[in-house]
Amino acid sequence: MGHILGGNPIDENNPLAVRLYGPDGQPLLVAGAINDAMDQAPTNVLSVAAYLIGRNPDTGQGQRVSVRDADTDAQATSHKYLKAVAAHHAFGGTNWERWRNNVAGTLLPSAVRNALTSSADQINYNCRGVWVRLNVTVNPGGGQTLALRVDARSNDSNYTGLAVGAGADFGGGVGNYDIIIYPGVGAAGGGTGVELTANFPLPRVWRATVTPSGAGNWTYSVEYAYIV
């Protein structure tokens, strides 16, 4: 038996009225609210899809979900936004985190340095590898060298070298030293412009370290680019 509306079966001639409401509880079709017969043309239509209604798997109840919530990291497992867009996040052991693309940034900004310097620990969310570049703009000369290395940090806060570069003097001038870490990466050299490659996946926590051979003042920066 079909559904009944107003004493008559619901069909194309007797449709079920459907109204859309905004987050303030007011109808989206303001100036011409649709009547039960669905025969009044709406006017002054407001924007739709500010909210979705879905099922909360924790409570089994319906839940209003904003599609305009901030898309940020460290979202709690109970956050309502994730019910709608979980495909764009991955679980990091405690919270949900956004997936990344080939993001680039700076590990150490350009500055004068004359001692071992490490970047802050970096969090790799979902990328398989990274390209790290040491860019030297002032060289103290005298045959002094700089060595770039990329370390992975274990859960006990110890560091292991994934790619340990040899000291380079840059011919007494300026230049770059490049490291690429990626599963299946090809060999360095051979006209590639890359000094060192490492056939490893990039772990979750990592950093870069630059070690000088002497006390001379170098000016350099260290940049990175993730590789999905």
Give whichever of 28-37, 78-87, 115-124 has the largest mean pLDDT: 115-124
Q: Is residue 41 over pLDDT 80?
A: no
How does pLDDT run across 42-77, given as a tens digit for each residue?
454 444 445 556 666 667 676 665 554 555 666 665
The pLDDT-based confidence of 185 (bands split at 50, 70, 90) is: very high
Residue 110 has a pLDDT of: 99
Class of domain 104-227: mainly beta
- The better pLDDT of the pair 12, 68 is held by 12
Taking the C-alpha atoms of residue 6 and residue 38, their distance in angstroms, rounded to an integer, is 13
pTM of the model: 0.65
Mean pLDDT of the chain: 81
% of the chain at pLDDT higher than 70: 63
Predicted local confidence at residue 56, as pLDDT: 66
Residue of 197, 201, 194 whose CA lies nearest to 129: 201
Instruction: Look at residue 189 in the predicted model and tell me its pLDDT.
Output: 87
Residue 189 neighbours by CB under 8 Å, 6+ apart: 195
pLDDT at 38 over 50: no
